[in-house]
């Protein structure tokens, strides 16, 4: 029986591990399919406080893991494929093996939705990004492309005009999911050019290991054309990793965990941390903070229960 099992090993999960380990709770972290979370997909992180020169995303998340292990946190490869949260102790199935836990911290994250092109996947971290806040700074006076037609795409496109020479927003329709205010703001921005009814066919240049352009297709005329770009940002939504909790935990219509205050879910003893619940901030530092909050809640609950 574990005091606390942490699902996810990104910034939120590893920070929760650090805090619960220092509280002598011997946490077990289930790393998940994307060990290290979204930070492991980025390159230089310049906005995590404490690193004046910046730090590589994978190094940052690995450092927090080492820090947690130093205090006794254990890590297990694999993913949680099923859960029974109907009563305590909770039961978790990790790749076919059931285990029991007094408390659970869900820090399973949200995965960026990608277009799914092979070239896009190969260039993630080398010019292809899903996070303007993280990577926009690298594209000063450069050509930037943003894909998507929702609020995220508008927000990212607007934000990226602070850096780029021009931002081309590519959207597959001529209508937008974005709210009027966000869309109006983007349309009023002289540095943003809209390419509607347009799909991305390919991102160049995998052989060079950097983004040099994109091949686009006009979905109305069928015309195929290339555009030189330096930074390629995909902003077509995120998918919270909560499918295994459906029917057990309160989720919003998009699948994000609903908070019941602090780090609490609707089930006593099950806590949330990071992007699995946060659809607004989604930063490494806010995820780390949320991991800390969840850990403190676990500590207090177990203490109150005499464990
Ligand atoms: P979203 O509203 O779901 O929009 C996703 C966009 O990506 C849609 O335009 C969609 O196109 C497009 N898309 C999806 N899959 C695609 C694919 N395979 N290829 C090309 N395009 C694709 O997602 P979001 O913009 O991330 O917003 C999510 C939620 O967060 C929303 O509720 C939003 O209001 C909120 N949000 C709010 C703010 C803010 O208020 N500051 C900022 C960001 C996000 P179609 O329309 O053709 O389906």
What pLDDT is recorded for position 272?
A: 98
Distance CA 25, CA 34 (A): 25
Pocket lined around ligand 1, Cβ cut-off 6 Å: 113, 115, 147-153, 155, 172-173, 177, 236-237, 279
This prediction's pTM: 0.78
Residue 166 backbone phi and psi in degrees, to 5: -150, 145
Does the annotation mark 292 as catalytic?
no
- 39 versus 263: which is more confidently predicted? 263
Reply yes or no on whether 131 is catalytic. Answer: yes
pLDDT at 45 over 90: no
Q: What is the spatial distance between Cα 163 and Cα 193, in angstroms, rounded to a whole number? A: 15
Q: How confident is the model at residue 22 (pLDDT cuts 50, 70, 90)?
A: very high
pLDDT computed for residue 8 by the predictor: 98
Look up residue 148 and give its two tokens: 């998507």
Nearest CA to ligand 1 atom 31: 151
Specify the pLDDT at position 38.
86
Please give the number of the atom of ligand 1 that sits closest to the Cα of 179: 34
Tell me which residue has its CA closest to atom 18 in ligand 1: 115
Q: 89 near 256, Cβ under 8 Å? A: no
Q: Look at residue 90 and give its three-state secondary structure.
A: strand
* CB atoms inside a 10 Å sphere around CB 1: 8
Strand 110-112 versus strand 238-240 pairing type = antiparallel
Query: How confident is the model over 103-133, as pLDDT tens digits?
Result: 999 999 998 899 999 999 999 999 999 989 8
Beta-carbon contacts of 45 under 8 Å, excluding residues fewer than 6 positions away, are: 39, 51, 54, 55, 56, 57, 60, 134, 284
State which of 151, 186, 202, 253 you would mutate to test the pocket of ligand 1, scoring each by most atoms of that ligand within 8 A of its C-beta: 151
**How far apart are the C-alpha atoms of 160 and 182, rounded to whole Å?**
14
Closest residue (by CA) to atom 26 of ligand 1?
Answer: 237
**pLDDT above 80: residue 241:** yes
pLDDT at 46: 84
Q: How far is CA 11 from the centre of its chain?
A: 10
Q: Which CA distances in Å does 295 have to 72, 107, 139, 254?
A: 15, 11, 37, 26
Between CA 132 and CA 140, with CA 138 as vertex, the angle to 5 degrees is 100
**pLDDT over threshold 90, residue 273:** yes
CA 53 to ligand 1 centroid distance, Å? 33
Q: For residue 176, which of 146, 150, 139 has the smallest C-alpha distance?
A: 150
CA of 229 to the centre of ligand 1 (A): 22
**From the candidates 134, 230, 275, 278, which is the catalytic residue?**
134
| Structure confidence by residue, pLDDT tens digits, 128-180 | 999 898 899 999 999 999 999 999 899 999 999 999 999 999 999 999 999 99
Distance CA 140, CA 8 (A): 34
Residue 213 has pLDDT above 80, yes or no: yes
């Amino acid at each position: 029986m574990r005091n606390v099992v942490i699902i996810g090993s990104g910034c939120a999960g590893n920070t929760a591990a650090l805090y619960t380990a220092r509280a002598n709770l011997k946490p077990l972290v289930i790393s998940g399919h994307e060990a290290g979370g979204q930070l492991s997909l980025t390159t230089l992180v310049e906005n995590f406080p404490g690193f004046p020169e910046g730090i590589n995303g994978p190094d940052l998340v690995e450092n927090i893991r080492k820090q947690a292990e130093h205090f006794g946190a254990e890590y297990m490869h694999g993913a949680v494929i099923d859960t029974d949260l109907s009563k305590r102790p909770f039961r978790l199935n990790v790749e076919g093996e059931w285990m029991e836990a007094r408390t659970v911290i869900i820090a399973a994250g949200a995965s960026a939705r990608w277009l799914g092109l092979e070239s896009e996947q190969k260039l993630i971290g080398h010019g292809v990004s899903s996070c303007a806040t993280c990577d926009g700074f690298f594209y000063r006076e450069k050509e930037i492309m943003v894909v998507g037609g929702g609020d995220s795409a508008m927000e990212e496109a607007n934000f990226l005009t602070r850096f780029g020479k021009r931002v081309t927003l590519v959207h597959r329709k001529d209508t937008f999911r974005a709210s009027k205010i966000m869309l109006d703001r983007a349309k009023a921005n002289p540095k943003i050019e809209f390419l509607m009814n347009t799909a991305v066919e390919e991102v160049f240049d995998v052989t060079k290991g950097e983004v040099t352009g994109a091949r686009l297709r006009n979905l109305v005329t069928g015309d195929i054309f290339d555009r030189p770009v330096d930074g390629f940002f995909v902003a077509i939504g995120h998918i919270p990793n909560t499918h295994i909790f459906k029917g057990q935990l309160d989720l919003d219509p998009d699948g994000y965990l609903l908070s019941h205050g602090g780090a609490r879910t609707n089930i006593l003893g099950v806590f949330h941390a990071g992007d699995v619940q946060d659809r607004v901030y989604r930063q490494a530092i806010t995820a780390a903070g949320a991991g800390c909050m969840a850990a403190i809640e676990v500590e207090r609950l177990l203490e109150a229960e005499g464990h």
